[in-house]
Structure 1
Amino acid sequence: MSLAQLIKNRRTVYQFEDKPISLNLIESFIEAAVHAPNHKLTEPWQFLIIGRQTQDRLAKIYASNRASKNHEEGSEGYRLSFENSIKKFLAIPQLVLVVQNLSKDPVICKEDYAACSCAIQNFQLSAWEQGIGVQWSSGPILKDAETFSILELDSENHELIAALYMGYPLAVGESQRKAISEVIRHYD
Structure 2
Amino acid sequence: MDTIEAIVGRRNIKQFKSEPIAEATWKKWLEAASYAPNHRMNQPWEILVIGEETRAKLNHRPNFGDAPLVLAIVSQGSEKPVERDENLVATSAFIQNFCLAAHAEGAGTRWTSIGNTPNAREILGVSDETATIWVLGVGYPLEVPEVKERAPIETKTRQLS
Taking structure 1 as the reference length, the TM-score comes to 0.77
Distance 2:159 2:131 in 1: 39
Question: Is 1:142–1:163's contact at 8 Å kept on the other side of the alignment?
Answer: no
1:65-122 superposed Cα distances (whole Å, 9 cap, x missing partner): xxxxxxxxxxxxxxxxxxxx3xx31723211101011122221111110111111100
Give 1:89's match in structure 2, choosing from 54, 63, 74.
63
Match of 1:153 in 2: 126
Gaps of 5+ in 2: none
147-156 or 170-179, larger mean C-alpha shift = 147-156
Give 2:86's match in structure 1, choosing from 101, 104, 111.
111
Question: Is 1:20–1:94's contact at 8 Å kept on the other side of the alignment?
Answer: yes
SS of 1:177's partner is coil
What's the offset of the Cα at 1:151? Answer: 2.5
Match of 1:27 in 2: 27
Question: Is 1:19–1:167's contact at 8 Å kept on the other side of the alignment?
Answer: yes
Match of 1:55 in 2: 55
SS of 2:102's partner is helix
Match of 1:142 in 2: 116
118-127 or 10-19, larger mean C-alpha shift = 10-19
Distance 1:148 1:185 in 2: 39
Distance 1:158 1:184 in 2: 31
Distance 2:7 2:78 in 1: 31
> Root-mean-square deviation (CA), in Å?
1.8
**Percent identity for Structure 1 against Structure 2:** 33
Question: Is 2:84–2:130's contact at 8 Å kept on the other side of the alignment?
Answer: no
Give 2:145's match in structure 1, choosing from 173, 178, 184.
173
Counterpart of 1:167, as a letter, is G
Gaps of 5+ in 1: 63-84
4+ long deviations beyond 4 Å: none
Q: How many residues align?
A: 159
1:98 matched to 2:44? The reply is no
What's the offset of the Cα at 1:177? Answer: 1.5
What's the offset of the Cα at 1:157? Answer: 6.1
Taking structure 2 as the reference length, the TM-score comes to 0.89
Distance 1:94 1:124 in 2: 13
Counterpart of 2:33, as a letter, is A
Distance 1:132 1:98 in 2: 18
SS of 2:88's partner is helix
Distance 2:142 2:131 in 1: 33
Please identify which structure carries the higher helix content.
1
Counterpart of 2:55, as a letter, is Q
Counterpart of 1:118, as a letter, is A
